[in-house]
Chain A
Amino acid sequence: MTASRVTSRVFRGLVILILVVCAGFPVYWMLNTALSTNEHLYGTGQKLWPQLQQIPVLMGQVADVPLLAWMGNSLVVAVGTTVVSLLLGCLAGYALSRFRFRGKGVVAALLFVTQVLPEALVLVPLYALFISLGLLNNLWGLVLANAGFALPVATFVLKGAIDAIPKEIEESAAIDGAPRASVLTMIVLPLIMPSIAAAAVMSFFSGWNEFLFANTFLLDKALWPASVGLASFIGQYDTPLPAVMASALLFSVPAIVFFLIVQRKMVSGLTAGAVKG
């Protein structure tokens, strides 16, 4: 038994290694490319290891770019999207999971339809709508547009999680005389923390990386989130690859940091013992 335990551990380790290398290599290559000179890239050949002596040169190039301002805008959009999606998603997810009511299927279907829509399809009408609502050229308008597409995802993830919780937990609380809403906040939410974390990451990422709406609805360069700022690097004549890669890496950092913070909630065993008690 011990031998098979060891082989299974080694096997697991190998699988993890392969997955991590495949997933991480493109980003490693971004780092490597950022730290290469144009001479290397287009002439003598890109080195396999990052050329750390390029760091000062790179910092100089990146300093020209209003990256912090862009990321600040991205943060507003991402956080706003996450807050709206989670708040409304919890409500909607709970409703879809726990209640039987007329029109439930329709609601679920409608929520779903939002996911099959290509953004380009709704771009023009949404643009016109935002003009009349005064939401154009405005980060909050972006939050609302993004949340429109992120909310259903959060709803479905949270609904799935709530589905997995046995109803007895809530019913025992209801017997104690607790109103529905507190059951939701005090009992259910803590139990579905891993899925809330997952939904938070998804909403944050979708807001952080969103490009099409940001590109179309924002007129002011000062309001650009980093996704648009990055695209503006792609010049008509040339694309400074090292600088773009460096900016892209810096831009990806907050998203990863957010994930690292939130993923600590993805710890198993939260539901264990809840039913037996």
Chain B
Amino acid sequence: MSRSITRKSSIAISVAATSALVLAGCASPGGSASSSDDEVTLVIANSQWLDALRGENLWNAVKKFEDSHPGITLEQEAIPSSDIDSKLTTEFGAGEGPDLVIVQEGLFYTLQDAGFLSPVGDAFDGISDLNATNDGGVIDGEAYGLAWQRAVYALIYNTDLIESAGATVPTTVDELIADGQLVADTGATGYTGRTSITDFNGWFMDLQNWVYGFGGGWSDGTELTIDTPENLAAIEAFAQLYDADLIPAGEDMPTQRTRFKEATVGYSIDNSGGTLNIATGGTIPSTSVGAAALPFPEPGAYQQLFVGVSGKSDNADAAQEFLTWLAGSEGQEALREASGPDTLATDVPLADDFVEANPWAETFAELAPNAHSTLIDGYEVETPQIMRVVMEAVERVLAVDADPAEELAAAQQTIDEQFGK
């Protein structure tokens, strides 16, 4: 019998096959920014590039930079928002990563704390009209980022629904519960908001509205003030709303937002980005979406995105140029158009036609300057860890009717042990 495949050749085949794969992998071009003599490519990472609503517009707005800066090409690195934390920290930790990042405050502080960002103060030398939204970008006296967008929280409602239910715009939590009940009696959903630790980040940011709203806060700048009467009042109020059974149990925020979009929800507390999403492309017309100040004595919170420059970038100069352009009138105008209701680094007013189509947007613009960051003052980087303890306490209050005062006291103790400075 002929044996055409000998031992040697079968081994040779498998060696060749696997080596070919490895070599193909090594030889294939990969990686990000490569520069020829004059051409510079800037990679900008942002999860918003994937946003179905604004992503394309935001990218086109940013691309306008190329018109006035020939020789620099912009490339996007789109990362889903749920993964951007882990992906960027992995990339930077390994010495790679994009040239510019557009990230939420929390990640911004983490990246800066890890030494991944370079100072950008020089980029704004000639610019004088940067507003207070940029203050958060100054860490230890140096500016590390430019404000990209600030999305403040407000109370939003379905004007048609509440009118037909006989409800009004509440100014206190008790009123909110009563009004929500009126809406629920008509068969719709009274209130939507996060109540589950599955979306931990989203939930603790939402809760900050209540905490600040009742005059509380988790630190006074140096000490962690967990167990305070104001914080207790906030949590008790939230528990009160939860016990009123107005919120769809266990649902994530995207699902609840879609409910609002389908005009089956009376009230919610959401930020300007979420509200824009609700008001666009769903059953509810944007003119039926109303916005008002939060039903709390004090102002609430905001979410904010910053633009930072990577310390490992090979194109630091070009990156700084981009920031200068972005902070200038041209960049701000372009960004204004694409940003919907969010507040920007300078006080560019909302476009008239946008306000006409989206009357709720002005309320957000009014509320933005006075709101607070969702990060804990003085403990920005440790905020998720601290809030993890707090949110688990809140979870127990909601789920097993634990005593809020006791839970807060226990949380204060745990947190002092771990983070006491």
Contact = CB atoms under 8 A, between A and B. Distances in A.
B96 A237 contact: no
Nearest to B20: A140
Contacts of B68: none
A127 B90 contact: yes
A171 to B, nearest CB: 16
B277 A136 contact: no
A179 B24 CA distance: 32
A232 interface: yes
Interface string B10-22: 1100100110011
A245 B10 CA distance: 44
Contacts of A91: 14
Interface in A40-70: 41-43
Contacts of B82: 231, 234
Contacts of A141: 25, 30
Nearest to A223: B30
A38 B14 contact: no
Contact of A237 (B5, B77, B274, B283): B274
Given A87-B18, A176-B1, A238-B258, A135 B31 contact: no
B18 A88 contact: yes
A18 interface: no
A234 to B, nearest CB: 6
Contacts of B337: none
A74 B129 CA distance: 48
A219 B11 contact: no
A164 interface: no
A131 interface: yes
Interface in A160-204: 176, 178-182, 184-186
Contacts of A88: 14, 18
A135 B96 CA distance: 13
Interface stretch (B46-54, B162-170, B366-374): B46-54
B26 A133 contact: yes
A42 B80 contact: no
A216 interface: yes
A75 to B, nearest CB: 15
Contacts of A234: 80, 82, 254
Interface in A199-241: 215-216, 219, 221, 228, 231-232, 234-241
Contacts of A186: 3, 5
Nearest to A41: B258
Given A38-B262, A138-B30, A236 B25 contact: no
B32 interface: yes
B78 interface: yes
Interface in B23-40: 24-26, 28, 30-32
Contacts of A216: 86-87, 90
Nearest to B9: A181
Contacts of B24: 140
A235 B52 contact: yes
B3 A179 contact: yes
B30 A135 contact: yes
A128 B14 contact: no
B400 interface: no
A123 B262 contact: no
B282 interface: yes
A33 to B, nearest CB: 12
Contact of A180 (B7, B50, B51, B80): B7
A107 interface: no
A93 interface: no
A237 B21 contact: no
A42 B254 CA distance: 12
Given A84-B18, A131-B94, A235-B50, 14 more contacts: A38-B282, A87-B14, A87-B18, A133-B25, A136-B96, A137-B30, A141-B25, A144-B22, A178-B1, A185-B5, A231-B83, A232-B50, A239-B254, A241-B258
Interface of A: 38-39, 41-43, 80, 83-84, 87-88, 91, 123-124, 127-128, 131, 133-138, 140-141, 143-144, 176, 178-182, 184-186, 215-216, 219, 221, 228, 231-232, 234-241
Shortest beta-carbon contacts, A-B, top 9: A140-B25, A181-B7, A137-B30, A237-B277, A236-B81, A138-B30, A181-B10, A182-B3, A128-B94
30 contacts: A38-B262, A42-B259, A80-B21, A87-B18, A124-B90, A131-B94, A131-B95, A134-B26, A135-B25, A136-B30, A138-B28, A140-B25, A143-B25, A179-B3, A182-B3, A182-B5, A182-B6, A182-B10, A185-B5, A215-B80, A215-B87, A236-B47, A236-B81, A236-B273, A237-B273, A238-B254, A238-B258, A239-B258, A240-B52, A241-B258
